[in-house]
Amino acid sequence: MTDRTLVRDLAQLPEGPVTVGGWVETVRDQKKVQFVVLRDESGAVQLVRQRPAEEDDVSRAIASVPLGSFVRVSGTLKHDERVKLGGLEVAVAAFDVVTASEPEQPIAADSSVDKRLDWRFLDLRNPGNELVFQVQTTFEHALRTWWVEHGYVEIHTPKLMASPSESRAELFQVPYFESTAYLAQSPQHFKQMAQAAGFGKVFEIAPAFRADPSFTARHATEFTSIDAEISWIDSHEDVMAMHEEVLVAGFEAVRDKHGEDLERVLGIPVTVPSRPFPRIPLAEAKRIVAERGYVVPRADEDMDPEGERRIAAYVREELGHDFVFLTDYASSIRPFYHMRSEADPALTKSYDLVYRGTEISTGAQREHRVDVLETQAREKGLDTDELAGYLEFFRYGIPAHGGFGMGLARVLMLMLERQSIRETTYLFRGPNRLRP
Ligand code: AMO
């Protein structure tokens, strides 16, 4: 390994010899002195070189290095409060160009998102963009840790499927030897299988695929789905209680580890939500937004995005919360596997979680009585032969259970106030984007 000090750690070091490595962000090549800003994954530092009377290799290398090149620099660390960038600088003794960049950078700060995505590896050199993925690492780790500490088993379900995992809509088909396979739209079937297997509590963080032709800020054709499924529940209330607890653990970890950086780099405060999150039945939520002047267009259907924004505004104003569970969805707009409410079979024991006006998750208690499940599937016009493998899971004993699926990039987009999940996905996949 190249022995180098991360820029972040320079402040703690005494003055003296150091080696740093990173890429060249700016060069100011003046008559008497040369300045370089070098950035690595942890920050940026100013390098300085007094020009000798006779041009030497170092001054020539600095004068000619294209922006973006990766360099390794040895020199002498000096603490100097007058240096705006971190109060320190490195006086350059050796300046090695590891690999030179092409002379012209293909993107600039004001390039369109599409162009930036074409050059994602350069776009991610922007410290704010890289920070998104540090936050993602911390958030996922905190969720995983919370689940592991609470006795959950991590599963990895297959993404190649013999039958659709969610519905016939938005389904990718791929040739599979002599037959056809489907890409998993969700781990739904197999996280439920773990309940039949007696695992009790499971989670998975993995890709899901949807052949969704939309071009919105919140839809991708491949996304990372965070899923959990638990047994022995009384209702979807138990799922919501776990859901909000694990989310709070994730937000706390992000605040503790990146709170200062997020304020400094992106100007974003991290707000850890308080528990319990508000819960509003869907019908009541529609009434509330109607009273406030917005009638959700299709009365018998889900909230539309504007409805979600309106109910979120209400919850923020009246209850001071960024999250709201919308509960008790009509069975007509929910999948066949959602359990119906004992009190009113027209409703399901399910919820959507809305964060800052956008749906981030769907959860429910599942129907575990196979005869009821089959009836519900038939009512939805589904082919029970195609579902035969799934239905087997319910014929040999299974506890009452439920869970949720949550889009990782959506949570990050809303938490970090980004415009689109394109910015919180490492490499976005949409109808028009398979590269890079
Ligand atoms: P649902 O279809 O609502 O539920 O998906 C759950 C969550 O996954 C995310 N999501 C998406 N993110 C980006 N692009 C997409 N095209 C996309 N589609 C979905 C959203 C959404 O809230 N099996 C159920 C979950 C469950 O009941 O456990 C399911 O998949 O954040």
Could you tell me if 36 and 64 are in contact, meaning their C-beta atoms sit under 8 angstroms apart? no
Burial classification of residue 308, based on how many CB atoms lie within 10 Å of its CB (0-12 exposed, 13-18 middle, 19 or more buried): buried
Could you tell me if 236 and 349 are in contact, meaning their C-beta atoms sit under 8 angstroms apart? yes
The mean-pLDDT minimum among 34-48, 288-302, 403-417 falls in 288-302
The CB of 220 under 6 Å from ligand 1? The reply is yes
Give all strands of the β-sheet with 401-407 in edge-to-edge order.
Answer: 153-154, 201-209, 222-231, 401-407, 358-365, 350-355, 323-327, 279-281
Percent of the chain whose predicted confidence (pLDDT) is above 90: 95
- Give 154 or 165, the one with higher predicted confidence: 154
The predicted pLDDT at position 233 comes to 98
Could you tell me if 405 and 188 are in contact, meaning their C-beta atoms sit under 8 angstroms apart? yes
Asked if domains 7-99 and 120-423 share a fold, the reply is no
The predicted pLDDT at position 83 comes to 94
Separation of 325 CA from ligand 1 center, angstroms? Answer: 15
Mean pLDDT of the chain: 96
The CB of 422 under 6 Å from ligand 1? The reply is no
Could you tell me if 409 and 221 are in contact, meaning their C-beta atoms sit under 8 angstroms apart? no
Protein residue closest via CA to atom 10 of ligand 1: 407
Task: Please name the helix (run of DSSP H) or strand (run of DSSP E) that holds residue 143, with its range, or none.
Answer: helix 127-149
What residues have CB less than 8 Å from 50, skipping those under 6 apart?
32, 33, 91
Tokens encoding 108: 């600039």
**Residue entry with tokens 């209680």:** 241
The CB of 186 under 6 Å from ligand 1? The reply is yes
Region 133-156: mean pLDDT is 98
Separation of 256 CA from ligand 1 center, angstroms? Answer: 28
Region 240-249: mean pLDDT is 98
Could you tell me if 379 and 190 are in contact, meaning their C-beta atoms sit under 8 angstroms apart? no
Model pTM?
Answer: 0.96
What are the beta bridge partners of residue 24?
38
The predicted pLDDT at position 270 comes to 97
Query: Tens of pLDDT along 195-209?
Result: 999 999 999 999 999
Region 39-49: mean pLDDT is 97
Separation of 407 CA from ligand 1 center, angstroms? Answer: 6
The CB of 209 under 6 Å from ligand 1? The reply is no
Q: Count CB-CB contacts under 10 A for residue 125.
A: 17
d(CA 122, CA 429): 18
The 3-state DSSP class for residue 206 equals strand
The CB of 244 under 6 Å from ligand 1? The reply is no
Domain spans, the chain: 7-99, 120-423
**Residue entry with tokens 């991290």:** 270
What CATH number labels 120-423?
3.30.930.10
Tokens encoding 17: 């010899």
Separation of 209 CA from ligand 1 center, angstroms? Answer: 10
Query: Tens of pLDDT along 274-302?
Result: 999 999 999 999 999 999 998 888 766 78
d(CA 262, CA 258): 6
The 3-state DSSP class for residue 355 equals strand
Region 140-159: mean pLDDT is 98
d(CA 344, CA 342): 6
Task: Please name the helix (run of DSSP H) or strand (run of DSSP E) that holds residue 93, with its range, or none.
Answer: strand 88-99
The predicted pLDDT at position 166 comes to 78
**6 Rama class: left (phi>0) / alpha (psi -120 to 50) / beta:** beta
Region 71-99: mean pLDDT is 97
The predicted pLDDT at position 163 comes to 86
Angle at 151 between CA 146 and CA 154, to 5 degrees: 80
Could you tell me if 43 and 261 are in contact, meaning their C-beta atoms sit under 8 angstroms apart? no
What type of residue is 362? T
Calculate helix-pair angle for 408-415, 127-149, nearest 10 degrees.
Answer: 120
CA 182 vs. chain centroid, Å, equals: 24
Helices (H), 271-369: 282-291, 305-319
Closest ligand 1 atom, residue 410 Cα: 31
What are the beta bridge partners of residue 45?
38
d(CA 31, CA 141): 50
The CATH number for 7-99, chosen from 3.90.230.10, 1.10.40.30, 3.20.20.140, 2.40.50.140, is 2.40.50.140
- Give 164 or 395, the one with higher predicted confidence: 395
Query: Tens of pLDDT along 305-342?
Result: 999 999 999 999 999 999 999 999 999 999 999 999 99
Give all strands of the β-sheet with 173-176 in edge-to-edge order.
Answer: 160-161, 179-183, 173-176
The CB of 424 under 6 Å from ligand 1? The reply is no
The mean-pLDDT minimum among 115-119, 299-303, 374-378 falls in 299-303
Could you tell me if 161 and 186 are in contact, meaning their C-beta atoms sit under 8 angstroms apart? no
**Residue entry with tokens 């989310």:** 247
The predicted pLDDT at position 302 comes to 85
Closest ligand 1 atom, residue 191 Cα: 28
The predicted pLDDT at position 169 comes to 83
The CB of 225 under 6 Å from ligand 1? The reply is yes
The predicted pLDDT at position 299 comes to 65
CA 382 vs. chain centroid, Å, equals: 32
What residues have CB less than 8 Å from 63, skipping those under 6 apart?
27, 29, 34
- Select from 222, 223, 368 the residue to mutate for testing ligand 1; criterion: most ligand atoms less than 8 Å from CB: 223
d(CA 270, CA 250): 11
Separation of 377 CA from ligand 1 center, angstroms? Answer: 20
**Residue entry with tokens 């949807």:** 210
The 3-state DSSP class for residue 252 equals helix
Calculate helix-pair angle for 127-149, 236-261, nearest 10 degrees.
Answer: 140
Separation of 360 CA from ligand 1 center, angstroms? Answer: 7
The CB of 224 under 6 Å from ligand 1? The reply is no
Could you tell me if 38 and 47 are in contact, meaning their C-beta atoms sit under 8 angstroms apart? yes
CA atoms in the 13 A half-sphere facing the CB of 159: 15
Q: What sign does the dihedral 384-389-236-357 (CA atoms) show? A: negative
